[in-house]
Structure 1
Amino acid sequence: MDEYVSRSTLADVDIPLLDLPSFWFSRMNQIHAFATDESPRPVFVDGKEGSMEVLFLKRMHKLCTQLASGLYHELGVRNGDMVAVVLPNTVYYLVVTLAIQMIGATCTPANPAYTADELAFQFRHSGTKYVIAASTVLPIIQAAGSAISYPDHVLYISCADDASMDRPGPRSIFRVLSDKPFPRFQPRTKAELQNAAAFVCYSSGTTGLPKGAVLSHYNIVANILQGIAVQSHMSSSRYQRKTLAVLPLFHSFGLVLMAHSLPLCGSSLVTMSSFDMSQFLRIIELHRITDTLLVPPVINALAKLPLVEYDLSSLKWIVSGASPLCTDTIKALELSFPHIHVMQGYGLTETSPGLSLNSPHCRNIHSSGSLLPNLECTVVDDYGTRLKPGSSGELCFRGPNIMTGYLNNRDETDRIIDSSGFLHTGDIGHIDAKGHVYVTDRKKELIKFNGFQVAPAELEGVLMQHPQIKDCAVVGAFCVKRQTELPRAYLVLNNSGLRSDDVAHAVLQWANARVAYYKRLRGGYVLALDHTDPVHVAIIADPQIVDAYSYNQSGLLLRLTEFFTDIYMRKSYTALQQLQQPPTIIFLGDLMDGGREWAHTDWIKEYQRFLLLFVNRKPKSTRVYHMAGNHDIGIGNTIVQNALQRFHEYVGPTNQILDIGGHQIILLDTLTLESDNKDVRKSTQQTIDWLQTERTEMQPKPRILFTHVPMWRPPNTNCGPLRQTPYAMLSRSGYQFRDQLFQNTTELLLNAIQPHAVFSGDDHDTCTISHVIPSTNKMVTEYTIGAFGWASGVPIASYALLTLYPRSSNNTSFVVQNCFLPYQLGIYQCYALAFVCSIVLVAICCYHDSNSQSVSALNIEMGLFSHSLPWQHPLPQYAHTLSKHSTVVKRTLLIMKDVAKVGVPTFVACILYFYTV
């Protein structure tokens, strides 16, 4: 017996020596009471509203036989030929595939959303000779099928919007139906069944283009019976079950475990051609759906639905597969819909596809289910050495449902299936003594988007064909909102100094047009630099935009304060980006002054003001991260939980670990860390625990810690020469504020994280001090950054520029520069002084000129003065009258006139210049 091999705890199932069509129809006739036309129970139902398409077993068998005869006699399909099936979900999907297999030909399912290039690759690689497709994709088939005899070797199934059977070109499948006899494919030995390919399903690999997994008749029959053995809940009320077939049937999960298996459990399948949440819910209510198979993003969306207006009481079971499902999502769904139970499964295209499934009578929501019958599992380390049961490593499986191999790719087959017959999944996990399989991580690089496999290497290959791309990398960026990974491209342009968003955007559009919809770069792009170039990070502390909570101001004074402080920060932020062009900007907290106090509607208005000042003014390529400050959410036991939740929802997570410029940038929410509420500090504590574990298990990159509140330091510690206020930082605390973290919190952070540098804010003034890490006695420098806002209590606002270099042997991997902004009050004083001097100078010049003017000339000037002003006022006429009696008054008014001509426009011009610049 093999060492360290776990066998399924379920009894083995007997696998008959039958081809797939013979097995499926014989088993359907045995277990279904509706095997005649008299029964009202259909096998397949079109779920589209208003559709009357249904398939009963007797008609389905007849259509399969007639289509197989037509394929043989009309198209010339023979045993061993490859037929591509390019269809969305339809009641006729199994009719097509079973008819092809009756002849002994092989089906290669393809996504109807594929581009012409992707279909062309699959056609060429698989050796496709014939195609059966949806009528809507015929133009793409024609563009892709250079090796296909178009239209002679192409059949179509009409869609609802294209029902004509008399179109020129390819024929409808219903035009080739025949009753002529044909040679049935009926292998008799196990070896024949194991070598006869039923499907070639293309699975994205990590080493380039997709690979065709050859699944034999024996593989598929085995996996159908393995799945039925676990799904015992179906047999208890066999003839009341209805399953909503929303998973794509061109995917092995939907094709085998849903379309082939569930009808054999007595369930009617109601098909959806594409997913729409409203239609999904409406079909459940209309058809009284009892079961469905879904991928995690759909389950997550279902769990987050508000009050549902549809009756979902009939839905009892949801089977989840294609990617791991979070246990919190399961709990949330079952809390919202107590009558629904979720069962997780696990498998691969290469395993036909099922490997494990939770049993309804023995459900473990933390696992991916029990190992299916007839299967063995072992766990290996990075060197291929088998580990003891319960150990974590790469999961490997052996059994009758393991694929024959990759089509025309012996090297990859030998790489994934070892000499003992175990298939190496590339997934990390373990199996317990009860046979429950746990998948905890992924060793291979595949991105899972909504259950679809996306190979980074394939997308990178597409991107590298663009002339503007010097280098690229594609990774999966997990989206919390959508509960799935999104492909994201990191691009190095041929001229990286340009950092052109227009070029990058054009490259993404170009690449997305060349791949299927699920492979598109929905995660966006990041313009990267060459690995040798320094990376600049601008650090902005405490913008703390002024609001009604700032100084108990109201009315005009508050509006003026907001107006001038906003102008100052907007100008400074714009200049920062124009002069230094940092690709990353980090805000160190206290985004708004009264953020934690505002009611939701008022907070939204202030947040929009913040976005207008900062976020909306950045280039698309600039990455901006925000930390929470005590003015945003509170601190310690005074954390305002509504404000914390609001910050998460609108601004982003308060704990983040970033990889920037070869450094690990840690944005840590130390405000919640000092709370006695475990739920409040849970996220921060988990982040610290992970960082500590990573540090002990591997050599992490240089770490730089960011915290809003500065770390504890002894009293009267000198903050250095750049500080503007008294030289030492105070140690005060009060309602919703604390000048420093507690000493024990500081020691905890230094020991657990062991950062190379620390950046903090909150104090509003600069401070540079050194700390000693207690566990190592190493020195680490903390840089407290001055406030970016003008009304923060320090004369000169500032920010910091952190420049990150590739890690070097002497650890000089970063440089910090404090950047001080102009003294704004001094600028205003200069404006005022210049204005007063201008007025005095104009007045002196006007007074000197007036002495040489005669009284008559003065009177004429007075007349002109009265008509030259842009407004009418009785003052000039009154002054003209007085001029007859007082030359002094006339001279004074003459000076006022000249001042008005010169000084007022000058003043207005200054104001406009100041506002715009």
Structure 2
Amino acid sequence: MSYSYSHSTAADSSSTEGWRRLLPWTKKWASGLQEELGSRSGLWSLLKRVIAYIFTVSNGLILLWISTLWWGERTVFQDSVKTCAWANWEKWPQGAAPHHVAFIADPQLVDPHTYPGRPWPLSTLTIKFTDQYLRRSFSSLQQELGPDSVLFLGDLFDGGREWSTAHSASPEGRYRKYNDRFWKKEFHRFVKIFADPWNEGDVHIKHPVGRRLLTGLPGNHDLGFGSGIQIPVRDRFQSFFGKSNRVDVIGNHTIVSVDTVSLSAMDQPDPETGSSGTGTGDGAQPNAPIWKDTQDFLDRMSVYRGRAEVEALRMLGNQSEGRLFQHRAVDILEPSIAHTAQPEVAGFPTILLSHVPLYRRPATPCGPHRERHPPSSPDLEEDERNAIPMGRGYQYQNVLTPTISRDIVSKVGPNLVQMYSGDDHDYCEMSHHEFNGSPAEITVKSLSWAMGIRQPGFVLTSLWNPIDPATGQSLETSSGRSLQNHLCLMPDQLSIFIYYGLIFGVTLGILFLRAVIVTHCPSAQGSPADPILPLSEHRSPRPRPARYKTPSSSTSSSTFPSPGGLASRAVNATPLYPSYPGAETGDVGSPKWKPTRAASKTTMIRAELVTSVKQVAQVVFAWYFFLIWRW
């Protein structure tokens, strides 16, 4: 027997063998492709879930609150100060190097004396937020502007005059428990608010003499006023803040600080004798311990000015050597250090600082920048609403008396070009035409938002007076003006809180709308709609069946159990409307029966709203407390 094979059969056999060898690789490739497509689909599904998790209503509101709080606690302060940049308003010749000064008035740190009837914790929150506002304002001033000198115009504390010392006590009995230790705590508050951020402005130093911070000028809330001042209280203030009556040369200008709250005791009656402060016929001088130091300072003004100006010229000429000590008997207040080619008084332009504004005619307008009552018309010579009111009361007086005002101006010097004061809390600018040269006076706004004004502020002053170091004579006479002023306004804190309240209302409205939509349209959240009727019911253990009693004749036959001890379908059927909290039970059609679907939706909306509010609030409050803690 013989066999024969055709060529086609051999070829088919070879092809089949090749496909058998290729089949495992094809299956492996197909399996890998399927896995890759599956992984890509999984990644895309995961990405969609992440996007859906991030871009939610709650996260959007959290982002809104984060940006809002950053604006209200940081940005608004920085932007307010940036608008007052020196280059935006000072106009000096090219190449000028002015000395930049900031005047701050009436910070009046809030204490138990400020709002005596305010309960805890509202009193504590008031102190916290006012301190926070002051520090942020002053810190922004240092960081953005970095003035060469900062001068305070009194009323550093609000109740400093009331806190007892070892030798004095407040006339107000309710404040006598606050002793010297409490005052020192208030001093540390002041240091934390104003002294600690002071170095933040060192990056702006331009002058070789460095920067100066002067806090010695007292206000009536620091010491009291006139005959109400207690000497131990004043001594304590000066021991911590420096001399109240002093002469400083800043920016080639002579700055004269006068303790006018003590000087005002001259024309007030003595609280014990009732006689006038100007003295009696037998030479007695009531209240003399209060006002005499300031009066002596004014009487010897030429000596103090000469000493300060000579020292400034010596430092300006870099003459650290070459002092001549004259061996002769001189008055103790007369400068004992001589220097070649030194003038007695260089004649620098003079600036007067007083906490209480100088006298002016009643109804003298304060100008357009007064916040409480803007001027009725720019051309009015008298505007009672726009003016500083003339009044006095317990430990205060709105303006100095005419006698004291004339005495100060006449003794400060003939080169008086500008005066700065505080006390009123609002801005006021006017010119004293009754004095030679008609010097202008600016009453500086309070820096605290708790002093009856909506927009606190401070005054920036640019001083430029190039001089000959040998003689002290001014080299610039073309402009005729050696200083420029600018009012810088800080944020309205009350408006910021109102804006927070509006955002809070919008947040609640959006979250409530979201809760309604999620409850009625669950598919809007990407999940399948929940059935209206429950698919399962949690059943408690079946109770032991009771013995059946013979029904009465009035009982319907439908109430008898079916054979085998099983109840009918109607007896064991699940109610159409499951019971929810607040639903009343009863037979269908009875007066007690009510459908509970509406009650269920309300409960669900409330639960969803509470959950979303908590989710937003926990992040927002954590962020807000961080901003407060970090000032």
Shorter chain as denominator, the TM-score bin is 0.5 to 0.7
Pairwise CA distance, 1:555: 2.7
2-structure distance, mates of 1:704, 1:730: 24
Give deviations 1:39-86, integer Å, cap 9, x for gaps.
xxxxxxxxxxxxxxxxxxxxxxxxxxxxxxxxxxxxxxxxxxxxxxxx
1-structure distance, mates of 2:533, 2:462: 68
Native 8 Å contact 2:352 2:420 kept in 1: yes
Amino acid at match of 1:542: D
For 2:471, the equivalent position in structure 1 comes to: none
Native 8 Å contact 1:656 1:666 kept in 2: yes
Give deviations 1:103-148, integer Å, cap 9, x for gaps.
xxxxxxxxxxxxxxxxxxxxxxxxxxxxxxxxxxxxxxxxxxxxxx
Pairwise CA RMSD of aligned residues?
2.8
The answer to whether residue 623 in structure 2 is matched with residue 623 in structure 1 is no
For 2:566, the equivalent position in structure 1 comes to: none
**Pairing 1:118-137 to 2, within 5 Å after superposition:** none
- Structure 1 residues 907 and 679, CA, compared in 2 at 3 Å: closer, same or farther? closer
Native 8 Å contact 2:457 2:490 kept in 1: yes
Q: 1:725 aligns with which of 368, 372, 386?
A: 372
For 1:561, the equivalent position in structure 2 comes to: 126
For 2:449, the equivalent position in structure 1 comes to: 790
Amino acid at match of 1:689: D
2-structure distance, mates of 1:721, 1:797: 16
- Structure 1 residues 796 and 915, CA, compared in 2 at 3 Å: closer, same or farther? farther
The answer to whether residue 116 in structure 2 is matched with residue 536 in structure 1 is no
Native 8 Å contact 2:106 2:156 kept in 1: yes
Q: 1:593 aligns with which of 139, 152, 158?
A: 158
2-structure distance, mates of 1:783, 1:648: 25
Pairwise CA distance, 1:811: 3.0
Q: 1:831 aligns with which of 486, 492, 500?
A: 500
What is the DSSP-based 3-state SS (H/G/I as helix, E as strand, rest coil) of the residue aligned with 1:650? helix
For 2:260, the equivalent position in structure 1 comes to: 670
* Structure ranking higher in strand proportion: 1
For 2:68, the equivalent position in structure 1 comes to: none
Pairwise CA distance, 1:855: 4.1
Pairwise CA distance, 1:898: 2.4
Q: 1:889 aligns with which of 594, 603, 607?
A: 603
For 1:780, the equivalent position in structure 2 comes to: 439
Give deviations 1:532-590, integer Å, cap 9, x for gaps.
51111111000000001112134322111101111111111110111110121111100
For 2:192, the equivalent position in structure 1 comes to: 612
Amino acid at match of 2:180: H
Pairwise CA distance, 1:851: 1.1
1-structure distance, mates of 2:534, 2:211: 65
Q: 1:756 aligns with which of 417, 427, 445?
A: 417
What is the DSSP-based 3-state SS (H/G/I as helix, E as strand, rest coil) of the residue aligned with 1:893? helix
What is the DSSP-based 3-state SS (H/G/I as helix, E as strand, rest coil) of the residue aligned with 1:756? strand
1-structure distance, mates of 2:408, 2:103: 21
The answer to whether residue 238 in structure 2 is matched with residue 648 in structure 1 is yes
For 1:299, the equivalent position in structure 2 comes to: none
Pairwise CA distance, 1:608: 1.0
2-structure distance, mates of 1:761, 1:725: 16
1-structure distance, mates of 2:613, 2:235: 58
Q: Which has the larger radius of gyration?
A: 2
Q: Bigger CA drift: 785-794 or 806-815?
A: 806-815
Give deviations 1:87-114, integer Å, cap 9, x for gaps.
xxxxxxxxxxxxxxxxxxxxxxxxxxxx
Pairwise CA distance, 1:833: 0.8
Native 8 Å contact 1:880 1:890 kept in 2: no
2-structure distance, mates of 1:887, 1:562: 45
* Structure ranking higher in helix proportion: 2
Gaps of at least 5 residues in structure 2 are 1-94, 164-178, 203-209, 266-276, 278-286, 307-342, 374-385, 467-475, 523-528, 539-578, 584-595
What is the DSSP-based 3-state SS (H/G/I as helix, E as strand, rest coil) of the residue aligned with 1:803? strand
For 1:818, the equivalent position in structure 2 comes to: 487
**Pairing 1:632-711 to 2, within 5 Å after superposition:** 632-675=222-265, 676=277, 677-692=287-302, 698-711=345-358
For 1:390, the equivalent position in structure 2 comes to: none
The two structures have a TM-score, normalised by structure 2, of 0.55
Pairwise CA distance, 1:849: 2.5
- Structure 1 residues 534 and 851, CA, compared in 2 at 3 Å: closer, same or farther? same
Amino acid at match of 2:197: R
- Structure 1 residues 859 and 767, CA, compared in 2 at 3 Å: closer, same or farther? farther
2-structure distance, mates of 1:888, 1:542: 54
2-structure distance, mates of 1:672, 1:587: 17
1-structure distance, mates of 2:491, 2:366: 22
**Pairing 1:33-432 to 2, within 5 Å after superposition:** none
1-structure distance, mates of 2:534, 2:403: 84
What is the DSSP-based 3-state SS (H/G/I as helix, E as strand, rest coil) of the residue aligned with 1:772? coil
1-structure distance, mates of 2:615, 2:580: 18
Pairwise CA distance, 1:757: 0.2
Identical aligned residues as a percent: 31
Give deviations 1:335-370, integer Å, cap 9, x for gaps.
xxxxxxxxxxxxxxxxxxxxxxxxxxxxxxxxxxxx
Give deviations 1:415-473, integer Å, cap 9, x for gaps.
xxxxxxxxxxxxxxxxxxxxxxxxxxxxxxxxxxxxxxxxxxxxxxxxxxxxxxxxxxx
Gaps of at least 5 residues in structure 1 are 1-530, 864-877
Pairwise CA distance, 1:857: 9.4
- Structure 1 residues 915 and 822, CA, compared in 2 at 3 Å: closer, same or farther? farther
Number of residue pairs aligned between Structure 1 and Structure 2: 370
Amino acid at match of 2:136: K
- Structure 1 residues 822 and 859, CA, compared in 2 at 3 Å: closer, same or farther? farther
Amino acid at match of 2:372: T
- Structure 1 residues 554 and 906, CA, compared in 2 at 3 Å: closer, same or farther? closer
Amino acid at match of 1:715: P
Pairwise CA distance, 1:684: 1.7
For 1:579, the equivalent position in structure 2 comes to: 144
Amino acid at match of 1:681: W
2-structure distance, mates of 1:916, 1:843: 33
The two structures have a TM-score, normalised by structure 1, of 0.38
1-structure distance, mates of 2:159, 2:482: 37
- Structure 1 residues 749 and 773, CA, compared in 2 at 3 Å: closer, same or farther? farther
Amino acid at match of 2:601: T
Amino acid at match of 1:684: T
Give deviations 1:153-192, integer Å, cap 9, x for gaps.
xxxxxxxxxxxxxxxxxxxxxxxxxxxxxxxxxxxxxxxx
- Structure 1 residues 648 and 907, CA, compared in 2 at 3 Å: closer, same or farther? closer
For 1:840, the equivalent position in structure 2 comes to: 509
Amino acid at match of 1:896: V
Native 8 Å contact 1:710 1:739 kept in 2: yes
Pairwise CA distance, 1:697: 5.8
Q: Bigger CA drift: 559-568 or 839-848?
A: 839-848
Pairwise CA distance, 1:880: 8.3
What is the DSSP-based 3-state SS (H/G/I as helix, E as strand, rest coil) of the residue aligned with 1:596? helix
2-structure distance, mates of 1:645, 1:608: 18
Native 8 Å contact 2:519 2:604 kept in 1: no
Amino acid at match of 2:147: P
2-structure distance, mates of 1:829, 1:643: 40
Native 8 Å contact 1:717 1:729 kept in 2: yes
